[in-house]
Amino acid sequence: MTIRVWNYLDEYEDERADIMDAVETVFESGQLVFGPSVRGFESEFAEYHGLRHCVGVDNGTNALVLGLRALGVREGDEVVTVSNTAAPTVVAIDQIGAVPVFVDVRESDFLMDVDQVEAAITDRTRCLLVVHLYGQCVDMDAVQAIAERHSLPVLEDCAQSHGARQGGRLAGTFGSAAAYSFYPTKVLGGYGDGGAVATSDDGTAAALRRLRYYGMEDRYYVVGTPGHNSRLDAVQAEILRRKLTRLDAYAEGRRRVARRYEEALADTGLLLPRTAEGNEHVYYVYVVRHPRREEIMAELKSYGIALNISYPWPVHTMSGFAHLGYSEGALPVTERLAGEIFSLPMYPSLPPERQDLVVKALRDVLATS
Ligand SMILES: *Cc1c(COP(=O)(O)O)cnc(C)c1O
């Protein structure tokens, strides 16, 4: 058996009865679209965050697209963000014809270097899109101060940070709106695609509800701007409702796995993830760094361990984003990281004996490389 960074079957073994009951609940409800499961999940997810609204959508990428549109971002507008992220963050900006403007990340935690943001703002900037990457928050006091000074809305990409906190406050509750993905690997993941946008602003929420439903306010009548078909599936909503009650336990389980890595790998020369001050990390991925990444990953394969890289290419260097006009060297920290990082198996139901195999193999490989 190959050991991978993520395997939902370990969770499914524990939660099968609840998951299948959720499926049956929807199939027997007589309402396959929207209905009580979607409404229930939306209100419970908003309540978990202490926010007024949650609007379920079909995936995290569209949560970003709709979030940007609801916050007033249009074609030609600039959105300040990072290149050290999952490509969908940038795909979403590009999809509405807006222009991503990248700042670099910090060496210490690989998160947005907020000190660079102000210099990236121009009179065409319409939004700051922060990414709480890997499971911990960008310095939001600093972001909010800049946003207020320039009267800009802040959209939080929370696809990797469900349940993460900063200064005791949950990710997603700092900005004007927050976009979530419930893709199966995520800290709160469904058994298929899903997403949501959360906000406390009534007008933004109303815009989001129209935008996910063709642009309709009531059935069959499009008002304002034509929208998308971007509904959260009811089966996923019902599964997510059940899993939301376990979100804090999932996060704690991930921290438990992280602590075991810390204890077992501290003296190996591998650079382990650092939690920024004031942050509570949820370890969506456990990203380590080593200059001889390729060798290490290749050797681990012979132990039956297949690791991932999140992410091997900075977005601004991808040919699909050549039209943005960035050249190599533009974002030195981001580019350096991409060549040295890799991820260890991380999910709350990772069996300890399988984690031990990974640790043992890594220690062997690092002792000889
Ligand atoms: C997963 C992810 C997305 C996209 O979510 P999908 O549900 O796959 O569309 C966006 N941003 C980040 C940071 C992600 O990790």
What is the reported pTM?
A: 0.98
Question: How far is the CA of 275 from the CAs of 136, 272, 282, 287, in angstroms?
Answer: 7, 10, 10, 12
d(CA 262, CA 133): 19
Spell out the residues 6+ positions from residue 235 whose beta carbon is closer than 8 angstroms to its own: 22, 23, 26, 27, 37, 191, 192
- Ligand 1 atom nearest 195 alpha carbon: 7
Helical H segments across the chain, by residue range = 8-29, 35-49, 60-70, 87-95, 117-120, 140-149, 202-211, 234-244, 247-265, 293-301, 332-338, 352-368
Per domain, the residue ranges of the chain are: 10-103+110-244, 247-368
pLDDT digits (tens, 9 = 90+) for 250-293: 999 999 999 999 999 999 999 999 999 999 999 999 999 999 99
Closest C-alpha to ligand 1, atom 7: 60
pLDDT of residue 224: 87
pLDDT of residue 1: 82
Q: Which residues line ligand 1 (CB under 6 A)?
A: 59-61, 85-86, 88-89, 131, 157, 159-160, 181, 183, 193, 195
Q: What is the pLDDT along the chain (369 residues), one digit of tens a residue?
A: 899 999 999 999 999 999 999 999 999 999 999 999 999 999 999 999 999 999 999 999 999 999 999 999 999 999 999 999 999 999 999 999 999 999 999 999 999 999 999 999 999 999 999 999 999 999 999 999 999 999 999 999 999 999 999 999 999 999 999 999 999 999 999 999 999 999 999 999 999 999 999 999 988 999 989 999 999 999 999 999 999 999 999 999 999 999 999 999 999 999 999 999 999 999 999 999 999 999 999 999 999 999 999 999 999 999 999 999 999 999 999 999 999 999 999 999 999 999 999 999 999 999 986
Mean pLDDT, the chain, integer = 97
Out of 3.40.50.1820, 3.40.640.10, 3.40.50.10070, 3.20.20.120, the CATH code matching 10-103+110-244 is 3.40.640.10
**Which amino acids are annotated catalytic?**
186
Output the CA 369–ligand 1 centroid distance in Å: 34
Q: Are the CB atoms for 288 and 270 separated by under 8 Å?
A: yes
**Three-class SS of residue 4?**
strand
Closest C-alpha to ligand 1, atom 5: 60
- Ligand 1 atom nearest 61 alpha carbon: 9
Output the CA 187–ligand 1 centroid distance in Å: 12
pLDDT of residue 218: 84
Pocket test for ligand 1, best of 89, 182, 232, 343 (most atoms within 8 A of CB): 89
Pocket test for ligand 1, best of 83, 183, 282, 310 (most atoms within 8 A of CB): 183
What class has domain 247-368? Answer: alpha beta
pLDDT digits (tens, 9 = 90+) for 94-145: 999 999 999 999 999 999 999 999 999 999 999 999 999 999 999 999 999 9
Asked if omega into 48 is within 30° of 0 (cis), the reply is no
**CB-side neighbour CA atoms (13 Å) of 161:** 28
Pocket test for ligand 1, best of 181, 232, 309, 343 (most atoms within 8 A of CB): 181
